[in-house]
Amino acid sequence: MIFSPLFASSGPVTHIAPGVIFHLFGWPITNSVFYGWISIVLMSIAFITVAHRIRVKPRGGFVQYVEVAADFVVSTIESAFEDKSKARKYTPYFITLFFFLLANNLLGLIPGVGDSVVYNSVPFLRPFTADFNATIAAAVITMGLVYTASIKEMGGKKYIRHFFMGSPKNPLYLVLGLIEMMTDLTRVISLSIRLFLNITIVEIIVVVFAYLGHIIAPLTAAPFYLIDAFDDMLQAFIFVLLAVMYIATAVNHVGGEDLTEENNTDRVGANPSETVAKAA
Amino acid sequence: MITLADTINTAIIGKGLMIGGGFIGPGIGMGLVGGSYLQAVGRNPEASKFLGQALVFVAIIELYALLAFASIFIVK
């Protein structure tokens, strides 16, 4: 019956958690982890090839798209930091993170990934970032870098001190400072939950609208498929943008005064007449 | 004796209320963010470079809508 979806007695098959597909040395290997390995191999091949083909005058093709995307991330990072040399220091990690998340999000859009190919009653392939374990690992590593960088730039004592607005001996400022510390820790959870839920739920929405479409499933699912593609790119960017903002607020906190002083000396040195006048 | 809960699937109603109620707030919030961004660009076209910052707030709000959507899976 064509109108059977209107009387939805049984909904579409959706999975919010990854399933175990096989065991390796007694370790359960889920479909997300398996697809993550595949994506690592594919990305290694693609980016090593790109790295060998980079020229001063680009010839177009895939290399140029990678360059544009990398340039976009670099400009985002540089605009967040006041000191450009410090921005350069953290750039490699964020570019790696951006491309890893982007590739893993977009790999979920390939036909055949998800419930269309079922093995051991679970989908054979599932995007790596649609697994909470994967996103929380990414968030823990990123926030670990943020905390390490903050402590390195500020020094341990000053880092603890910057949570408190006033003296920690004042009970009000003590409580507010402790709340501020807790808020800092919840960033790990919010980063990971945002990425995981976005990727998983947008995939579920595509499945739901393909199910509602019944015989014209491609037509009803197509707009949501495009939303999925847009959201995948946006979430990879937002993960990186938020991490950059967290790290930039901590690093910019220290280097303000040194920067202006350095600029002044640069300006004096760059202007020959001024230097001569100073010498005279 | 047949109760109301036996005749109709109350979980469906619960899920519907969850989605409806949970999406009102984030929907209004996202509208305010987008509206404020466009207003700022309309007054001062140089403010269009702050799209990244506007997207950060969209991402923060969107998390609450996603939490509402994810909670329907715990209703049986």
Tell me: the pLDDT tens digits for B31-65? Answer: 999 999 999 999 998 888 888 788 888 888 888 88
pLDDT at A26 over 50: yes
Q: Report percent pLDDT > 90 for chain A.
A: 13
- Asked if residue A181 has pLDDT above 60, the reply is yes
Contact state of B63 with A190 under an 8 Å Cβ cutoff:
yes
Q: What is the pLDDT of residue A162?
A: 79
C-alpha distances in angstroms, A194 versus A120, A230, B48, B66?
Answer: 29, 15, 25, 8
Torsion of CA A223, A226, A231, A236, to 10 degrees: 170
Residue spans of the domains in chain B: they are: 25-76
- Kindly report whether the global pTM for this prediction surpasses the value 0.80: no
ipTM for the assembly: 0.71
Question: What mean pLDDT, rounded, does chain A reach?
Answer: 80
Per the CB < 8 A criterion, the answer to whether A146 and A246 are in contact is: yes
Q: What is the pLDDT of residue A267?
A: 45
> Taking 60 as the threshold, does the pLDDT of residue A89 lie above it?
yes
Q: Which of the given ranges, A6-20, A22-36, A161-175, A252-266, has the highest pLDDT on average?
A: A22-36
Q: Chain A: residue nearest B63 by CA? A: A194
Amino acid at A146: V
Where are the domains positioned within chain A?
Answer: 20-254
CB contact under 8 A, A197 and B59: no
Candidate from B52, B66, B67 with C-beta closest to A241: B52
Quick one: pLDDT at residue B36? Answer: 93
pLDDT at residue A28 is higher than 90? no
A5-9, A17-21, A64-68, A134-138: which has the minimum mean pLDDT? Answer: A5-9
The average pLDDT across A220-246 equals 89
Residue A14: per-residue pLDDT = 76
A201/B52 touch (CB, cutoff 8 Å), yes or no: no
> pLDDT tens-digit profile of A36-54?
999 999 999 998 988 888 7
Mean pLDDT of A153-177: 82
Chain A residues within 8 angstroms (CB to CB) of chain B: 16, 76, 190, 193-194, 197-198, 201, 234-235, 237-238, 241-242, 245
CB distance B55–A76 less than 8 Å? no
Nearest CB among B52, B59, B62 relative to A76 is that of B52
Task: Give how far the C-alpha of residue A40 lies from the chain's centroid of Cα atoms, to the nearest Å.
Answer: 16
Any CB–CB contact under 8 A between B63 and chain A?
A: yes
What confidence score (pLDDT) does residue B37 get?
A: 93
Chain B positions touching A242 (Cβ under 8 A) are 56, 59
Task: Say if residue A140's pLDDT is above 90.
Answer: yes
CA distance A246 to A143: 9
